[in-house]
Amino acid sequence: MEVWEAIFKRRSIRSFRDEPVDNNLLIKLVEAAIWAPSGSNIQPWHFIAVSCEEQKAKIKPFAPGLTGMPPALLVICTDLALCERKGGRLGRDVLSLMDAAFAAQNINLMACELGLGTCVIRSFNQGAIQEILRLPPQLVPQLIVSVGYPERVPQAPKRRSVQEVMSWERYG
């Protein structure tokens, strides 16, 4: 699949077939994630793959943004202590979030290539997820990506036009 095709074809998938995702595919997604750009090349991320029903059931009540029950979740965490040590306040407050977002988009696009569907989720209780995953205090869950084989691919939500969101040389 060409990159442009994945960019336009990718949708947030919220309903999945009842079919497990092979661990090797989850590893492939994380391989794609670690090749994302990273501010100051800190690479502060840690990825937790969650496929076990019991663990997913613990997460579900603390993640209102998670629709249904996908076969797998990839929790993208960033190490804020490492970010601060290497990048100061900018590293801790800004780069850590951006690195998680870039990693998530690489996961999205690679998933598209592999015939998988994903949805990036930010609506969850960070403290609760931190506890359930037994993360050390410096490792903060920034995004959850649900992963599975799409049952239904929704229509593309409307986009604002390029003309509306783009200016040349200065605003307006």
Give SS3 for 45: strand
Angle, helix 23-33 to helix 96-113, in steps of 10 degrees:
130
Neighbours of 52 (CB within 10 A): 10
Burial of 151 (0-12, 13-18, 19+ CB in 10 A): middle
Q: Is 11 or 46 the residue whose CB approaches ligand FMN more closely?
A: 11
67 binds ligand FMN (CB under 6 A): yes
Q: What character string, x for contact with ligand FMN (CB under 6 A) and - otherwise, covers 87-126?
A: --------------------------------xxxxx---
Minimum distance, C-beta of residue 10 to ligand FMN, in the bound complex (Å)? 7
Minimum distance, C-beta of residue 9 to ligand FMN, in the bound complex (Å)? 10
- The answer to whether the Cα torsion of 132, 134, 137, 140 is positive or negative is negative
- Among residue numbers 120 through 139, which ones bind ligand FMN (CB under 6 A)? 120-123
169 sits in the region (left: phi over 0; alpha: psi -120 to 50; else beta) called left
- Among residue numbers 31 through 50, which ones bind ligand FMN (CB under 6 A)? none
Question: Amino acid letter at 89?
Answer: R
12 binds ligand FMN (CB under 6 A): yes
Q: Is 27 or 153 the residue whose CB approaches ligand FMN more closely?
A: 153
Q: Is 7 or 27 the residue whose CB approaches ligand FMN more closely?
A: 7
Q: Which residue is nearest to ligand FMN (CB)?
A: 65
Q: How many residues bind ligand FMN (CB under 6 A)?
A: 11
Q: What are 168's two structure tokens?
A: 């040349």
Q: Which residue has the tokens 């997460």?
A: 59
65 binds ligand FMN (CB under 6 A): yes
Q: Residue 4 contacts by C-beta under 8 Å, 6 or more apart in sequence? A: none
Piece of 11-19, 25-33, 36-44, 130-138 that binds ligand FMN (CB under 6 A): 11-19
Which residues sit at the interface with ligand FMN, rule CB under 6 A?
11-12, 14, 65, 67, 119-123, 157
